[in-house]
Amino acid sequence: MSLKLYIEPYGNNNWTEQIVNNIPHIPTTKDDCDYIVSSKLPWGITDSGFIQQVLNSYKNESKNVLLFLTSDYNEPFEVPSNILFFRTGMYKSQKKPNEYLLPYIGAKAELLNHVQMEAMPKRGIHPTIGFCGSIASHPSRLQYINKLKMHPGIKKNFILKNEYWGGNPHNPNIVAEFIKNVRDSYFTLSTRGTGNWSSRFYQVLYLGRIPVFINTDMVLPFEDKINWRDIIVYCDSPNELNDKIIQFWNTKDIQHAQNVCKDVFNNYLSVEGWCRTITNDILVPLKQKASVNM
């Protein structure tokens, strides 16, 4: 089913355009549309005052509005009831009914469209956990890494930096180093950074390896559809970190688990898969409900 969308001019927000291009739709006027698509929020913006101003600007619209925010800002906003607010970072305990998780849609592009990896057969008696990235993004990262270093039954593959992407994002050599670190590790520590979400979480899934996740009141994608506790190393607290990795290693088919991670990304977390799912599960049902109530 194609939705009728009124799409604001994109300007420099080509990342919003990537999303909209993957939602089956017919461009139309504001008066005739099912949804208005906002293009007012730049990629990475953390100015909470500006974000709230944009939210407020739509509260008198008679149509529902789709608003997308890729940002490390996690704190709650006042979200008008006619806005469907898709955002990367938030706290689950503060999530509003019309807030939805936005996956990191740049996961594949940031890896320079590197092809997905084949699953790595299980070898040896000890699991390998990797991490290549900044330990300055959030203090918990170094705490978790030090906890892992203390466990003799876990092999460590750590490349620790003090800046995001080593201070040189999109450098092909740094990207290649990151990809190799993920490729050579069964598991990758994929916890929060500056925002209460992790781009690495999505990148590891895309590359077909197993994220190690520690819950920090975080929202994971499609928790009603995906049993995250079964397909990744899911820790409710840092105290579980080492034991959960060992348990997963000893009880799961590791090669199969890697393939499941890759399939989950392709089916649900790629731009195409995510747009298809929100269209079928959120946008179309809401349109149908509105039609019945007219």
The per-residue pLDDT for 215 is 97
Q: Are strands 99-101 and 155-161 parallel, antiparallel or unpaired?
A: unpaired
Q: Which DSSP string corresponds to 139-179? A: HHHHHHHHHHHT-TTSEEEEEEESSGGGG-TT-HHHHHHHH
CB atoms under 10 Å from CB of 203, counted, come to: 24
Nearest by Cα to 70 from 197, 163, 175: 197
Once rounded to an integer, what is the mean pLDDT over residues 175-184?
97
Q: Which residues of 136-153 are buried (b: 16+ CB within 10 A; e: fewer)?
A: ebbeebeebbeebeebee
The per-residue pLDDT for 170 is 86
* Cβ-contact 150, 124 below 8 angstroms: no
The per-residue pLDDT for 292 is 65
Once rounded to an integer, what is the mean pLDDT over residues 191-211?
97
The per-residue pLDDT for 81 is 97
What domains appear along the chain, each with residue ranges and CATH number? 3-102 (no CATH), 109-269 (3.40.50.2000)
Question: What is the Cα–Cα distance from 16 to 39, expressed in whole angstroms?
Answer: 7
Predicted confidence (pLDDT) per residue in 220-259, tens digit: 999 999 999 999 999 999 999 999 999 999 999 999 999 9
The per-residue pLDDT for 94 is 97
pLDDT(135) > 60: yes
By the 10 Å C-beta count (0-12 exposed, 13-18 middle, 19+ buried), 286 is classed as: middle
* Cβ-contact 246, 154 below 8 angstroms: yes
Q: Which DSSP string corresponds to 1-23? A: -PEEEEE---TT-HHHHHHHHTS
pLDDT(44) > 70: yes
Residues with Cβ within 8 Å of 44's Cβ and at least 6 positions away in sequence, in order, are: 70, 71, 72
The per-residue pLDDT for 258 is 98
Assessment of whether the complete model's pTM goes beyond 0.85: yes
Predicted confidence (pLDDT) per residue in 70-121, tens digit: 999 999 999 999 999 999 999 999 999 999 999 999 999 999 889 899 999 9
293: pLDDT confidence band, cut at 50, 70 and 90? Answer: low
Single-letter amino acid, residue 42: P
The per-residue pLDDT for 246 is 98
Percent of the chain with pLDDT over 90: 89
Residues with Cβ within 8 Å of 284's Cβ and at least 6 positions away in sequence, in order, are: 1, 3
* Cβ-contact 256, 210 below 8 angstroms: no
CA angle 60, 66, 68 (to 5 degrees): 120
